[in-house]
Amino acid sequence: MSRKSKLPPIAQWNFWLGVVVCIITVGGFVFGTWYLMDVLEDEQQVPLARFNVQGELLQTDVTAIRQAILAEPLGSFFTADVDKIRARIEALPWVKQASLRKVWPDRLSVHVTEQKPLARWNGDRLLNAEGEVFSADLNESKLKQPLPQLFGPEREVEQTLTAYRDLQGLLALNDLGISALRLTDRFSVSLVLKSGIELKLGREATAERVKRFIDLLPKIKSHPNNEKQRIEVVDLRYDTGVAVSWQPKEAKES
């Protein structure tokens, strides 16, 4: 016949005391965690109260960035959604990229990289050095010099930009510059110099044709027609030689 052993009274008391202590400890931990989370999520207790905006900003209004940051409640230091704030800032027309970080105890640091326009694209948009097209209102008074105008098929942005860079590099060596360049659907290139002269280059050997123009320019300028007329168009779409169109200088001044 089996007999069940019983714990001595003192052992039973210690057991139940341990159970109570364990319950109190676990309960205290749960309550403390809940209270801490409540405090951390409370904007009044741990507010994200300040922010500063950094970056070289020429076209972007800092006020617009601040409005984008405050478009929705920020939350506390710990609950503020940095990704959402970044998305609102990067939605601004002139903002290319924004980086954000929280600085204890209550500050949000914002660094903004602004778009740097290289040219106007098809008359109504802008183009940056990476070949990205974007739309934004341009304050030209803040530019060191006017932007060149580039025209081309929407699918050929990169080729149009490459043509501009290659030909501008050649012309710049001779103190000449491009004010406008056009690439047609058939990949024919024409450009207008800052002096107003139009160059028709065609589809092939455009760099060689620009070099030919540079070599012939002193002779063209010394032509008798240049006394009363200005060079309007130089057609370089020939294997040898060029065709020059002249415009009366009076027509330009009238």
Predicted confidence at residue 135, as pLDDT, reads 96
Task: Reduce the DSSP state of residue 250 to 3 states and report it.
Answer: helix
**CA max distance for the chain:** 137
Q: Are residues 220 and 121 in the same domain?
A: yes
Q: Are residues 152 and 109 in the same domain?
A: no
* Residues in the chain, pLDDT under 70: 1-21, 24-46, 250-254
Domain boundary among 70, 97, 114: 114
Contact 242, 233 (CB under 8 A): no
Q: Are residues 147 and 107 in the same domain?
A: no
Q: In angstroms, rounded to a whole number, what is the distance separating the alpha carbons of residues 79 and 73?
A: 11
Q: Are residues 91 and 182 in the same domain?
A: no
Predicted confidence at residue 32, as pLDDT, reads 45
Predicted confidence at residue 33, as pLDDT, reads 45
Domain membership of residue 248 as a residue range: 117-253
Domains identified in the chain, total number: 2
Predicted confidence at residue 3, as pLDDT, reads 54
Q: What is the DSSP letter of 146?
A: P
Residue identified by tokens 């007329």 is: 229
Helix 157-172 to helix 206-221 angle, to the nearest 10 degrees?
40
Residue 133 lies inside a defined structural domain of this protein? yes
Q: Are residues 125 and 248 in the same domain?
A: yes
Residue identified by tokens 């209102």 is: 137
- What are phi and psi for residue 67, nearest 5 degrees? -65, -35
Q: Are residues 203 and 94 in the same domain?
A: no
Q: In angstroms, rounded to a whole number, what is the distance separating the alpha carbons of residues 66 and 51?
A: 9
Predicted confidence at residue 42, as pLDDT, reads 43
Residue identified by tokens 């939350």 is: 75
Q: Are residues 109 and 226 in the same domain?
A: no
CATH at 60: 3.10.20.310
Residue 45 lies inside a defined structural domain of this protein? no
Residue 201 lies inside a defined structural domain of this protein? yes
Preceding amide of 105 cis, omega within 30:
yes
| 203, HSE (Cβ side, Cα atoms, 13 Å) | 4
